[in-house]
Amino acid sequence: MISGWLLLMFVATAMANNDLTVDCGSGDSVTVRWRPRLDSSQKLDPSRGLLGNCPPSFTMSDDMLIFYALLRDCGFLKQVTADSVTYSNMLIYDRQPELPFISQRVQCVYDSAVSKTTTFSAVEDEKEGLVTFSMELMNSDFSAPAPSMRFQLGSIIPIRATVESPSHRQLKIYMESCVAATDANISRAAQVHPIIANVGCLMESKSGNSSFLPRRHPAEMRLHLQAFKFALGQNIFLHCDLEAWDVQSMDRKMCHYRQQQRRWELLDDPSQSYVCSCCEFSCFWRMNCTKGLSARKVLGPFVMEGLTVALLWLLVVSVTAALVTIMGVLAVSYYLCFWRGGRLGYRPIRDLLTKY
């Protein structure tokens, strides 16, 4: 019997095939060994694997990803009950663009009476006081909340994240990771999709027209997220890890991909964009977490949708009406130009016989 605490190891269905092994450690770290089920024609690419927002620590035997992480990192979700503390996260492997993501839940459960692990989402600091993080959907010019929670495929979803501190010290906010999910509890989500990963890399800017907007002030971040094909018609939640650091700190990065220049760019200082080169691979960005504050925010629900049945019918009717109009114009033109001789003042032969 293990004295002082109860440790439960989460074993997924794939465990029977040795696809997933989770070692929950002693209460503050976790080691995950995962073999994504790829087709025989696919080769494992470590840069496509994530545990929450953390890349793999290394690989083994060319087909297994190894993750070593602290439970306060990587976006682990902490849930506390009367007798246990549960940490949940998602393994995600991004296959080729035309193939769906491979995902797998990871969970560690501890006895809450003796668990000493603190959550990474605490927002109270002895020097700063109570620091408030917030996220919201905005209208097109970020002057007010979004008028609707429904967005058409390809349209822009404006998102704002802010941090407020009661002290006079200025803080700069960063969005370390964001994952779209079909549930407010990511461990129950049937579908997940990474938006920001690799410690501040806006992955959707590479595949679409999403981008960060220039800062108006350090305590605010604005994001233009282009609605993409994910869980169309369903409720969607954004699970984001936000961080606040001193404005002079250079310990964090926010990178987005510039389609025209075909390169990654650092939001706050484009001249230092070389730090974003790791967005194509794995960014190992380890710092002393006591220098900053962080919190997990869940934004939603909102809905991304394609063309509705009503819009499709409207499109069909509009095209039909346009075709009928064009055919009518052509018929009238043929009658005037050919059937009646194409001359102004044309008179039938019987009129001419009567006249003369």
The yes or no reply on domain 16-111 and CATH 3.40.50.1000 is: no
- Tell me the range of 99-113, 121-135, 137-151, 328-342 where mean pLDDT is highest: 137-151
- Tell me the range of 88-92, 238-242, 256-260 where mean pLDDT is highest: 256-260
pLDDT score at 190: 84
Domain with CATH 2.60.40.4100 in the chain: 132-305
* Closest C-alpha to 181, from 131, 235, 137, 138: 235
Q: What is the CATH number of domain 132-305?
A: 2.60.40.4100
Classify burial at 61, counting beta carbons within 10 Å of its beta carbon; exposed 0-12, middle 13-18, buried 19 or more.
exposed
pLDDT tens-digit series, residues 176-210: 889 898 988 877 788 888 899 888 999 999 988 99
Domain with CATH 2.60.40.3210 in the chain: 16-111
CA pair distance 84, 105, nearest whole angstrom: 18
Beta bridge partners of 121: none
**Phi then psi dihedrals of residue 323, to 5 deg:** -65, -40
CA pair distance 164, 132, nearest whole angstrom: 5
pTM over 0.85: no
Please state the three-class secondary structure of 112-127 as a single string. CCCCCCCCCCCCEECC
pLDDT score at 337: 67
pLDDT tens-digit series, residues 254-270: 999 999 999 999 999 99
CA pair distance 88, 239, nearest whole angstrom: 13
